[in-house]
Structure 1
């Protein structure tokens, strides 16, 4: 079993990758309030995602696995969360406003689902649950880059982050690391791993929809 198998057997993968929120980002037609709502909610989500990565260290059996989890924590705390706060400032939102934003129902559902999977399952199950988030943004970035640069698109800086060579290289590295873990899966785990992956994809779709609907 590998990541591509999980992706290929997920019936709603394209609903996630080609969601209307993403398509509107690509064309620059997304309502600014939807983007602001997404930025604030994704900041709140990433705080919980960092806790999931901390649990991955706890669940690890080897030093290499612990270092993988540590790298994920560092990436969140030192880079990605800061990047989202930078975007928030650029779109007129202060740190105080972002931190005091109530979590949407979609944010609560998704983040707590990941935390539950991380706490109750094995390390392999944890990574199956976070794989859509870990890998999906790289695929989205690659697809939007192929569609071409739009100088007048207000969301182009966001696209550029996930389309960058640096992020694409990280995505390739993440896939290799996920595959290494998945090689340890036994046949009796396959259905559960696919279910974890599919449910996380549903949560991703709901997250985009939440941003569109300002819910």
Structure 2
């Protein structure tokens, strides 16, 4: 696995925001009961829309949870700690990441079956092709856990999804089945965009420990802003297809929940107890 792979990268590929995906990413289309009916024109938003990207506005609207997410202790300690103090913690997180990615690929591809493009033979064939690539990404992550992070293969295969992972993935699965495709991209912002911002913030704080699993398989993988920029640009290019008077409230809720789950994920990794949910986070959820 190269330094450009990992959970954020796999999520981006699964959503179809890579150059090889045939999915699109999703042929986004405003929901309509009659395809021949022209869409109802919406007034152009004023104020913040002209000043901020959608991601920036979501961060402004949810500053408390965003700051808690950005300041998580796991990443701060991982950047500064030597290998003998932190590598085992990172291995434990990587095992849960692997199980999370299996669930993510499963439910996003289930959601893609609901798209209009999947109701044609060519569209279905493209979806199967993309699914095979997504599974390959998960297999590559498994191989990296074994070869690069020195995780025992049998231990990884016997690993069970924790309460933290099941809570996160169950919420995303429910949303994927009941929500529009665009919101999947909103829920991916904390991981794809946020992980990049955390890595950049760590770099600004000064040099870290370089001979560690965290540095080579988290920090370096998330330092480049390419994936974050692609996601942000995609949201800007496609938001108007799903924008409505109530959309910002829905997107705020999705973004906030995703930030809380990501924070809980890091907190469980830092604590080393994946089946205990922090009371403050549980109350917020």
State if a TM-score over 0.5 links the two structures. Answer: yes
- Which has the greater radius of gyration? 2
Q: Of the candidates 99, 124, 133, which is equivalent to residue 44 of structure 1?
A: 99
2:216 maps to 157
Q: Closer, same or farther in 2 for the Cα pair 1:80/1:157, shift >3 Å?
A: farther
Runs of 4+ in 1 over 4 A off after TM superposition: 69-76
2:32 maps to none
Q: Closer, same or farther in 2 for the Cα pair 1:88/1:143, shift >3 Å?
A: farther
Per-residue CA distance 1:13-34 (angstroms, 9 max, x = gap): 1211220001011112563332
Distance 1:117 1:79 in 2: 23
The alpha carbon displacement at 1:110 in A equals: 0.5
Structure 2: unaligned runs, 5 residues or longer = 1-48, 119-123, 274-285
Q: Closer, same or farther in 2 for the Cα pair 1:190/1:13, shift >3 Å?
A: same
Contact 2:69 2:262 in 1 (8 A): yes
Q: Closer, same or farther in 2 for the Cα pair 1:8/1:70, shift >3 Å?
A: farther
Per-residue CA distance 1:32-83 (angstroms, 9 max, x = gap): 33212101001111111112331442344569xx9xx999867754446624
2:196 maps to 138
Q: Closer, same or farther in 2 for the Cα pair 1:128/1:89, shift >3 Å?
A: same
2:148 maps to 90
Q: Of the candidates 183, 189, 192, which is equivalent to residue 125 of structure 1?
A: 183
| Most deviating of 7-16 and 151-160 | 151-160
Aligned residues: 210
| Most deviating of 37-46 and 27-36 | 27-36
Q: Of the candidates 199, 205, 228, which is equivalent to residue 171 of structure 1?
A: 228
Q: Closer, same or farther in 2 for the Cα pair 1:121/1:104, shift >3 Å?
A: same
SS at match of 2:150: coil
Structure 1: unaligned runs, 5 residues or longer = none
TM-score by length of 2: 0.64
Q: Closer, same or farther in 2 for the Cα pair 1:151/1:131, shift >3 Å?
A: closer
1:102 maps to 160
Q: RMSD of the alignment, in Å?
A: 3.0
**Structure (1/2) with the larger helix percentage:** 1
1:6 maps to 58
Q: Of the candidates 64, 68, 76, which is equivalent to residue 15 of structure 1?
A: 68
Distance 2:131 2:197 in 1: 22
